[in-house]
Amino acid sequence: RWLSTLLLLAALAAAGCTNFWVADIAVNQGNEAQISDFDKVSLGMSQKKVRALLGPPQTRWELEEEIWIYYYQRRDAKTDERLSGQITFADGKVSKIEKLDPRGGSE
């Protein structure tokens, strides 16, 4: 009999704890400062200056031109913010600057 009482108490305790506490944890990816400084990048700027301003890119492609992509995402219970930007280099200098819409395409 004491075993069934113990099992009943354990089941009630487990059921009561499932909604007892819900964590609201913010999840950040990327570097917020990079996105805020993105507007300081200008055409003709060297890769060295861009890296000093924004840090290393999260993604880097080397095709005919070199492309650096920066992104920032913040998600919590109240916010789902996504920002990203792409910088294209030709001959080591900025040739194109794009802020990207996270739903696809550019602004």
Tens-digit pLDDT profile for residues 10-45: 776 666 555 555 555 655 566 665 666 888 999 999
Distance CA 99, CA 69 (A): 10
pLDDT for the residue 92: 93
Percent of the chain scored above 90 by pLDDT?
A: 28
- Average pLDDT for 51-65: 88
Whole-model pTM? 0.62
Predicted confidence band of residue 9 (pLDDT cuts 50, 70, 90): confident
Return the amino acid letter for 64.
E
Distance CA 35, CA 50 (A): 12
